[in-house]
Copies of this chain bind each other. A is one copy, B any other.
Amino acid sequence: MIQSANHQQLKLYLKKFAIEDVFPSKLIGDLSLCYYEQGEHLCMQGDNACELFIIVKGKVKVFTTSSEGNTLILSFKTPLELIGDIEYVQKIDIINTVEAVSPLTVVRIPYKALRAHCENHPPFLKFMLGIITQKFYVKSDFLSFNLMHSVDVRLASYLLSHSFDEQHSLVTGIHSTESLKDAANLIGTSYRHLNRVLLKFIQEGLVERNSKSIVIKDWQGLKNIAGHSLYEK
């Protein structure tokens, strides 16, 4: 992780997301801009929480590891999103591990500064409320979706929503290796089973697979399986 002293850049980001007024001016000096490389961890499950992160560029995955050693990905997050918000309010340890899955830029703010200057600052409180209620809504949807639908449906939905990712459009490049494992962990199934369902999709002509990627051939067909596509956000 590299910490930047470039306050100009930081302010550009705040402006980009229209959150300049969220923090009182006396707190601006406590903000810093940080860059993480792919694979680096922002925080680890169980650690003491002491800073709030605002994701302003790149993508992270949020996951938890059970006592049995299983990994479950709870979500992928892209700007504008907060890490450490729940922990700040509830005053608890880090709940989930967060890892950069692309080069990442975040604004970092120590809890200490927040408690000193934002505890009763309505713009900040409203900002937090907006983000957290959104998160809750998405999570609630995600829960229902997972509990009510089979892996087929979930995978179809996953493929659809992750094809619109930053990079390509229709010709999606979902890397076989890591990201398929991630997909399994996000969907909440085993890698083995995901492969099985994928094979079925291939046999049905819905997708094609080559050594490096998975390509969607029949958009509508997948949509019919997915019903209402989730995992979108």
**A144 and B90 within 8 A (CB):** no
Q: Is A22 part of the contact surface with B, judged by Cβ < 8 Å?
A: no
Q: Is A74 part of the contact surface with B, judged by Cβ < 8 Å?
A: yes
Interface residues of A in 62-77 (CB under 8 A from B): 64, 66-68, 70, 72, 74
Question: A70 to B148, alpha carbons, bound, how many Å?
Answer: 8
Determine which of B92, B125, B137, B148 lies in contact with A90 in the assembled complex, contact meaning CB atoms within 8 Å: B137
Question: A228 to B67, alpha carbons, bound, how many Å?
Answer: 10
One digit per residue, 1 when the CB lies within 8 angstroms of any chain B CB and 0 when it does not, for chain A 185-227 equals 0001000000000000000000000000000000000000001
Question: A134 to B91, alpha carbons, bound, how many Å?
Answer: 11
**B148 and A146 within 8 A (CB):** no
Determine which of B72, B90, B92, B147 lies in contact with A72 in the assembled complex, contact meaning CB atoms within 8 Å: B147
Q: Given A122-B120, A139-B139, A148-B70, A134–B90 Cβ distance below 8 Å? A: yes
Interface size of A in residues (CB-CB distance below 8 Å): 39
Q: Is A5 part of the contact surface with B, judged by Cβ < 8 Å?
A: no
Copies of this chain:
2
Question: A125 to B125, alpha carbons, bound, how many Å?
Answer: 6
The interface residues of chain A, by DSSP majority, are classed as: helix
Q: Is A17 part of the contact surface with B, judged by Cβ < 8 Å?
A: no
Across the interface, which residues of B come within 8 angstroms of A143, CB to CB? 74, 139, 142-143, 146
One digit per residue, 1 when the CB lies within 8 angstroms of any chain B CB and 0 when it does not, for chain A 118-150 equals 001110011011101111110110111011100
Q: Is A43 part of the contact surface with B, judged by Cβ < 8 Å?
A: no
Determine which of B70, B126, B139 lies in contact with A140 in the assembled complex, contact meaning CB atoms within 8 Å: B139
Question: A95 to B89, alpha carbons, bound, how many Å?
Answer: 24
